[in-house]
Amino acid sequence: MPYRRRTLDEVDALVGDTLISLLRQIRAGYPQRPDAFPQSILLCGVRDVRDYRLHQEGAQVITGGSAFNIKAESLRMGNFTEEERQTLWQQHTDETGQTFDPTIFQELWEDTHGQPARLRPPR
């Protein structure tokens, strides 16, 4: 079965050789799409991959994803409001029939504060 897409969260927490290795692996896997490598990869973080300045020991500074030719576009996704969050969970209920105990919503809001990557229905 072909790999469709994958999400890597908090990529901006990687530094130096670790980040360079990840970006090189993504670039090396590109020709193997979609049968042996994801068709698309979402790199989540608070910074744009093209803004990274990668320092490699004993080498010149590498500047961001453009050096690896891996980035198509950036999307800034803000946090959901409480109203948007309730709408999303209601859509989930409508589509799946899974209901939520209303008492859980305040705790879920305190845990996620609307962060999109953390705001998904329990399975």
Taking the chain (123 residues) in runs of 10, the rounded mean pLDDT of each run is 76 81 87 88 78 62 57 76 87 91 86 74 52
Residue 115 in contact with residue 78, Cβ under 8 Å? no
Return the SS3 of 62. strand
Q: What is the pTM of this model?
A: 0.57
